[in-house]
Amino acid sequence: MYQRLSRSNRLLSYAMWLVLLVVFLFPVYWLVASSFKTEGQQFAIPPIWVPSPFTLENYIDLFSDAKVINSLKNSFLVAGMTLAAVALLGIPAAYSMARFRVGGSKMMLVIFTARLLPPVAYIIPLFAIARGLGLYDKQGTLVVLYTFFSLPLAIWMLVGFIATIPDEIEDAALIDGASRLGVIWHVVLPLIRPGLASVTIFMLLSSWNEFALAVTLTARHSRTLPVTMYTFVTNQNIAWGKLAAAGVLSALPIVIAGLLVQKHLVMGLVSGSGK
């Protein structure tokens, strides 16, 4: 009797997880399927669940558009430079706060206040400053702003991971003659790889998908991919197929990055910051 109940519970659990999986993955499937549909298939009634025939017309139109190629380059450049800047500034800052209590116990609260303001509160002032200083439509402007707004979260996460490393491990390395920078490079960073994976994904998501600052502070030259996708929606028409193809293209780098660090990502999400 108990075994039958236990088996029934497992089957019910599997069924619930299967339903949740379908619910969460269906929009992803529909986006991918729509990117291979013709214009007539997009609004067919009843809906066409599997494109037939498949068409690459949307992707051909996408990659033949110079604006898309330029915005894709801008997105890679801005996201990559932001990630590098956050790593260069965030790792030493997190280490100094975790090991030397730099700034005192209230420092984390102070740096985290930068995340509390809603974007609409600072977009207009930032636009006026960028125009006044000649920084409008510059990739560097986005890199600086994305770094500024991403650093608090990165430092907060990394402090938790570094704090889990016993001091004795670092003391042993220092006794063996390692410098403080050597300890960080050869001891701390390898031990917090799960944390670095988590921070990397979060920083890529925030900089790659950011829209509000990008649409306000860029024009044709520095426009990123999310802003270019927005131009596919006009008062006269919505290029649904091209928009779906752009959505797939936009998601691919994040998916690839997630797959590359997945071994460390799950571990990083459930550890470190809990201390």
68-80 residue pLDDT tens: 999 999 999 999 9
> Does residue 275 belong to any structural domain of this protein?
no
> Does residue 174 belong to any structural domain of this protein?
yes
pLDDT tens-place string over residues 240-253:
899 999 999 999 99
Looking at the fold, whether 242 and 227 belong to one and the same domain comes out as yes
- SS (HEC) of 17-60: HHHHHHHHHHHHHHHHHHHCCCHHHHCCCCCCCCCCCCCCHHHH
Instruction: State yes or no: pLDDT of 264 exceeds 70.
Output: no
Instruction: State yes or no: pLDDT of 118 exceeds 80.
Output: no
Looking at the fold, whether 87 and 14 belong to one and the same domain comes out as no
Looking at the fold, whether 75 and 43 belong to one and the same domain comes out as no
- What pLDDT is attached to residue 76? 95
Looking at the fold, whether 87 and 209 belong to one and the same domain comes out as yes
Looking at the fold, whether 132 and 5 belong to one and the same domain comes out as no
Work out how many domains the chain is built from and give that number: 2
Give exposure, 70-95, as e/b (b: 16+ Cβ within 10 Å). bbbebbebbbebbbebbbebbbebbb
> Does residue 186 belong to any structural domain of this protein?
yes
Query: How far is Cα 115 from Cα 149, in angstroms, rounded to an integer?
Result: 7
Which of 125-129, 157-161, 233-237, 251-255 shows the lowest mean pLDDT across its residues? Answer: 233-237
What mean pLDDT is predicted for residues 104-131? Answer: 77
- What pLDDT is attached to residue 153? 86
Give residue 139's domain range. 62-269
Looking at the fold, whether 45 and 81 belong to one and the same domain comes out as no
What mean pLDDT is predicted for residues 42-65? Answer: 88
Residue 171, token pair as written in the block: 């003391």
pLDDT tens-place string over residues 15-34:
888 898 889 999 999 999 99
Instruction: State yes or no: pLDDT of 105 exceeds 80.
Output: no
> Does residue 274 belong to any structural domain of this protein?
no
Query: How far is Cα 129 from Cα 220, in angstroms, rounded to an integer?
Result: 19
> Does residue 71 belong to any structural domain of this protein?
yes
Which of 71-80, 190-199, 215-224, 241-250 shows the lowest mean pLDDT across its residues? Answer: 190-199
Nearest to 91 by CA among 193, 206, 232, 239: 193
> Does residue 162 belong to any structural domain of this protein?
yes
Looking at the fold, whether 23 and 68 belong to one and the same domain comes out as no
Structure pTM?
0.85
How far CA 220 is from CA of 78, 123, 135, 172, in Å, comes to 15, 19, 14, 54
